[in-house]
Structure 1
Amino acid sequence: MISGHGETPVTRIVLTAAYDGTDFRGWAANPGTRTVQSTLTEAVRLITNEENEIVGASRTDSGAHAKGQVAVFDTNRPIAIERWVDVLNRRLPIDLRIVSTRQGSEDFNPRFAARDRWYRYRIHTGRVDPFRARYVHHHGRPLDLELMKLAAERLVGTHDFRAYTEELEPTVNNTVRTLFSIEVRQVRDEMWVDVVGTAFLRGMMRKTAGILLECGRGYRPVEEVSRLLDIEERNSLRWPVVLPARGLCLQRVRYGRYPRDHRTAL
């Protein structure tokens, strides 16, 4: 973030962004690569002529999409809050759009203040559709919806999801996470896996969708979903497959107090 200059007040801008992640190497800035964070940072720098730090709610994977990514930056520029959507979008590429902006409190952090995150994974069970190819995992065969639902029920709650993550990031020393709800439904020739949770480990959502797909194909018994959550049993089992990032989309990040019934989270 930046500090104020003289009498000019610092404003914390909270933005909601949507992007097609196909041509981005994920959210997090990485020298020499096109990422969402670095693209946003450059656009803000061109507008403000400041060295602004962009902080996001979710570090989406390379190739994954978002409809509701939340991010913040600080600025001294006296631009009206409602104008930031148009001002930023004029500087951004067409695969990254700002949906809304508002002013945030000076201590608001979109990552640590998030109440929950909602991700959707789309599995295509029909024939290849070139107009959806960038946004679904093409499976091309029917899946057993009831088996997938039974498997999903076993993942809801607070568990150690070590077997449901890829290589751990250096800053992660706790793999216990809480999933409030998982809904699996058939929408025409697609299976949608909607998951709401507090926070997600690297690759966790794609592995969750992967094991549900394996159960839906009949390749893995539903009971193994629970066994992979057991620290005593997980290393004796084959860990879930990681599905491609293109089928994954961050739908929404929510803030504020928790509802009494997390089943209403979607």
Structure 2
Amino acid sequence: MVASVRRLRCVLGYDGTDFSGFQVQPDQITIQGEIEAALNRITGEEIQIYGSGRTDAGVHARGQVIHFDTKSHIPLDKWRFVLNNQLPDAIAIRSVEEANESFHARFDVQVKEYRYCIDNSPVADVFRHRYADHIRYPLDVEAMQQAARYLEGEHDFTSFCSAKTFVEDKVRTVYGLNVERRGDEVWVICRGNGFLYNMVRIIVGTLVEVGQGKRVPAELAEILAACDRERAGKTAPAKGLTMWEVVY
């Protein structure tokens, strides 16, 4: 009798500090590699997982989504415990559920939300340094928010994409881009239908320059129109970025 195949969908979080990103790479410790190794130990199967997106080295996740197929008969309510028992402390499976065989963690995504945290206190908080970029000089959050409005909607984001990308179509839709001060933290919250390589971090780096008075908000429209990476700001450090939520 042939065992039936089940498709499972998981939501997970991870501290990306000590990983070389999500995607498997030779001789590197990655999120995908750790999860697939755990699945192999649990089931004895060579299982490949599929993620909603590939976070870069040092980037974190609160709501990454993956799916995988397995012939294992482990009860659904046991999967979270069994997986977490085999994973390093920096990776945590938050939920596991059965998925339709047609579900795909990457191709079915409707909205992704990324959040970037800036520690804007005079002295860096040692308990936040793994998850926030420290900028000690005051930031004009109102000016940053004005600038962010120019990036909302459907645009060619070539200026906000790493030159290393091989993707030809650089048109993406940003549904919302908000800059909020929460005490001594500044958060940049970006929701869209998809993001290019380093796109959110380049957006943040550019908005920070606005907040520092090095650029005026209206300049963001000119940067977009130029389709030139050299016109935008620096790429913000990976540690401040978290994949917050994925909506299907």
Q: In 1, distance between residues paired with 2:105 and 2:227?
A: 33
Deviation at 1:239, TM superposition (A): 2.3
- 1:151 and 1:225 in contact (8 A); partners too: yes
The residue type equivalent to 1:166 in the other structure is: S
Q: Which amino acid aligns with 1:173?
A: E
C-alpha spacing 1:147/1:79, structure 2 compared with 1 (3 Å)? same
Which whole-Å deviations, capped at 9, do the CAs of 1:203-252 have from their partners, x for residues lacking one? Answer: 0010111111110111012122111111xx34496322100000000111
Tell me the residue number matched to 1:12. 7
Instruction: Indicate conservation of the 8 Å contact 2:159/2:230, yes or no.
Output: no
User: Matches of 2:31 and 2:234 in 1, distance apart?
Assistant: 26
Once the two structures are TM-superposed, the CA of residue 9 in structure 1 deviates from its matched residue by 0.6
Which of 239, 247, 264 in structure 1 is aligned with 2:232?
239
Q: In 1, distance between residues paired with 2:99 and 2:247?
A: 14
Equivalent-residue separation in structure 2 for 1:146 and 1:11 (angstroms)? 49
The answer to whether the 8 Å contact 1:163/1:240 transfers is no
Aligned to 2:136: 140
TM-score of the superposed pair, with normalisation by structure 2: 0.97
Deviations 1:9-51 (A, max 9, x none): 1000100110000001110000100000111110011111111
Question: In structure 2, which of residues 215, 233, 244 is the aligned counterpart of residue 251 of structure 1?
Answer: 244
Following superposition, the deviation at residue 166 of structure 1 comes to 0.7
Equivalent-residue separation in structure 2 for 1:228 and 1:65 (angstroms)? 28
Of residues 74, 79, 82 in structure 1, which corresponds to 2:74?
Answer: 79
Aligned residues: 247
- Match for 1:98: what amino acid? I
CA distance in 1, matches of 2:169, 2:97: 33
2:147 is matched with which residue?
Answer: 151
Secondary structure in 1 aligned to 2:62?
strand
Q: Are residues 19 and 237 of structure 1, via their aligned partners in 2, closer, same or farther at CA, if it must alter by over 3 Å?
A: closer
Residue 181 of structure 1 pairs with residue 176 of structure 2: yes
Asked if the contact 2:201/2:241 (under 8 Å) is kept, the reply is yes
- Aligned counterpart in structure 1 of residue 38 of structure 2, from 27, 40, 43: 43
Q: Structure 1 runs of 4+ off > 4 angstroms?
A: none
Distance 1:7 1:228, change over 3 A: same
SS of the equivalent of 1:205 reads helix
1:108 is aligned to 103
TM norm structure 1: 0.90
Identical residues among aligned pairs (%): 38
In the alignment, structure 2 segments of 5+ residues that lack a partner are none
CA distance in 1, matches of 2:176, 2:45: 41
> Counterpart of 2:32 in 1: which secondary structure?
helix
Q: Out of 26, 30, 55, which is 1:31 matched to?
A: 26
Shift of 1:95: 0.4
Q: In the alignment, what sits opposite 1:59? A: 54
Q: Structure 1 stretches of 5 or more lacking a match?
A: 1-5, 256-266
How far did 1:183 drift?
1.2
**Quick one: which of 148, 153, 158 aligns to 1:162?**
158
Partner Cα distance (1:89, 1:112) in 2: 26
- What residue is the counterpart of 1:263 in the other structure? none
Distance in 2 (CA, whole Å) between partners of 1:235 and 1:114 is 28
Partner of 1:94: 89
Instruction: Give the AA of the match of 2:91.
Output: L
SS at match of 1:97: strand
Please provide the CA RMSD for this pair: 1.2
